[in-house]
Amino acid sequence: MIVAFENNVVCSDEKVRDYLLAHHADLKEDQDEDALCLVRLHKEEDIDGTDRVDLVGWREISRELYWAEGQMECNYSIICFSRKTTSLQMSVVLSTCNQLEWLEKVLWGYEAQDTKNFELIIADDGSRKETYDMLQRITPQLSFQVKHVWHEDKGFRKCDILNKGILAAQADYLLFSDGDCIPRKDFVSTHLCLRRKGRFLSGGYHKLSMDLSKDITKDDILSGRCFDLQWMRGKGMPASFKNNKLTATGFKRWALNTFTPTKASWNGHNASGWLSDILAVNGFDERMQYGGQDREFGERLENYGIHGMQIRYSTVCLHLDHARGYKTKDSIQKNRNIRKHTRGAKVQWTSLGIVKDELRGQSVKVNSYYDRYTREEEKLTSYKEKGGFYRHIYSLSCRWRRAKYHDKVVRAYQQDTDAPALSNHSGVIVSLTTFPPRISQLHLMLKSILWQTCPPEKIIVWLSEQEFPGRLNDLPEELKILMAKGIEFRFVSENFRSHKKYHYVFREYPDSKVITVDDDLIYPRNTVERLLSLSYQYPDTVCGNVIRKIHMDGNSFSVYRKWTKVFTMPVNSSLQNVAIGCGGIYYPPHWYGEELFDWKIISEHCPSADDLWLKANELKRRVEVTGGGEFYPRPIELPQTQNNSLQKKNNGKTNLNDKQWKSLNELWKLDELYCINGK
């Protein structure tokens, strides 16, 4: 639950509710206990619907209470809201500290952007209350979502607050700038247009004098006049080669970006990158003070294999002048020493970043083994497709190496006793279920989700009370330890077998993005990231990492074994695609109808093939499935979990998949629906 506060509001809750819904387009009223809550504080007594509470212990989570003086007891009432689901393309992280005049001008710069499909996260390194008051005044006038992430002023801690801003981001692509840099109207859209996998974007700024910084007004920003060279020259800006940043277009812009002697480093005032890459190097090093802290972060990205791309003449921002009282010789020298070590030792991961412990050392080794396993799996797939000599002879050494790295990954997870806690605010829920024969190995699978490059906000395991009558007492100690990491175990009275993984999460979280996974696999670290990336390209579709293609014999479905499993293909969305649960499946909010939950039909026609039941409902509602992209390996199977595998029953000798799909087809005439819509 996120808690927001308002002090000294003397009016009815209805008026406050109406005001918020009218002025914040991203809010809707919601009485759910996990909703966003507005807590209204009243100094006056005898207001209907309020209670009294001592709020001394709440100082740490409320800036109003932090700055409050005198008696801390007051009345309060609660109004519940939740945020409407949006498909954000970018999170902009903006650092600031006690520069409210400059920050206000920058906010108008983002209001003037030619795209609004972004959220703005203000990473506030301890500003005084005046900054908060300004944001309360300005934010309702803006047409995009603003988050204010703040911590107490304890000196220069920009890297700390940037890491907190990263954790607050909901998009998979992040743009970083400063609260003294006014963006041109195409700033965000250009970063989005130029983003590339395996790269980060390196921009620059156009520095202004103090007089010109003060002269620029809100109207100058919204109209774009402040980016007009002639207007700037009229305000006293001297002639300079750097003025090309304001005027370069087309071939000239390309040439200046390509042949500039300036290195494509990470510049905190104008740089962007993928969230997965940022998390892979553990964010910013919190030992760093002023002077090169952004460059050190970029150097670790380079060591990780993510290289900078120069765009200093494509993305323009105006840097407003200010003093730098936090700059000291000691901090500069300290940062130089850290950067020297980063470059010399090829450091990728900082131990004092978002994760502040030694957990990552084990994870780096696991990921290295999994990467090698993936390469062998990809080679083996290629040999199988070629057939003949390749399939039977060349593949032997490949199979041996794959088995070796498979075992190393499993042993590494078995030896690793810890995992990071969930701390992301992506709004994504990973949902799964299991049963007693697999419960002893489940902690290994859950760790592979906790170690994702783009971790979810929630992980929920649905368990039947019929199979676990002792509830938490029936769980192994390893799972109880993981509860402290944020994993939820929810016990339900019914036993819908494998269908539990989607049934309850869709019911309880209809507005959320959901990813279902299987309980017997160790997943590659980029599983969630890949699914979210596909969903951003095709927002209203189901997305899968492992895809089969429906095969038809004339106007009838062929047997399931002929539905080809596709390992690599261009990203595409189609009714022909079938998402397979072993790779994880992403579901957008509200894609389903009420018939999805009809257990009477499920138990009669499709009790053990949840993937096929979901596919049948997708065909009925014309919901396409998206898949494709780079090679995705077969996830590593956990030992001693395949004796009770549904895959063997459904697609093995008993061939339950064909029987259940035939039954669904007879019930709903799926072949006719597919021939009309699918082909």
Sign of CA dihedral 316, 172, 192, 132: negative
Phi (first) and psi of residue 127, to 5 degrees: -65, 155
Sign of CA dihedral 362, 423, 544, 570: negative
| Measured distance CA(392)–CA(374) in Å, rounded | 20
- Looking at residue 619, its pLDDT comes to 94
- Looking at residue 676, its pLDDT comes to 82
- Looking at residue 460, its pLDDT comes to 97
**How does strand 317-319 pair with strand 206-207?**
parallel
Number of residues written out for the chain: 679
Encoded tokens for 184: 């041109």
Beta strands in 362-454 (DSSP E): 428-433
Place of tokens 């980029």: 526
| H helices present in 61-207, as ranges | 63-67, 100-111, 129-138, 158-168, 187-194
What letter would DSSP give residue 543? E
In the predicted model, residues of the chain with pLDDT beneath 50 are: 1-12, 24, 26, 33-47, 49-79, 81-86, 358-361
Close Cβ partners of 441 (under 8 Å, ≥ 6 residues apart): 520, 638, 639, 640, 641
Burial 577-607 (b: 16+ CB within 10 A, else e): bbbbbbbbbbbbbebbeeebbeeebbeebbb
Sign of CA dihedral 531, 534, 540, 546: negative
Give the other-Cβ count within 10 Å of 263's Cβ: 10
| Measured distance CA(519)–CA(487) in Å, rounded | 14
Q: Which amino acid is at 413?
A: Y
Burial 462-495 (b: 16+ CB within 10 A, else e): bbbeebbeeeeeebeebbeebeebbbebebeeee
- Cut 0.75: pTM above it: no
- Looking at residue 549, its pLDDT comes to 94
Query: For the chain, what is the radius of gyration of the CA atoms?
Result: 27
Encoded tokens for 628: 């494709």
Q: How far is CA 386 from the centre of its chain?
A: 38
Q: How far is CA 603 from the centre of its chain?
A: 36
Smallest CA-to-CA distance from 634 within 569, 584, 576, 560 is with: 584
Smallest CA-to-CA distance from 93 within 160, 14, 46 is with: 160
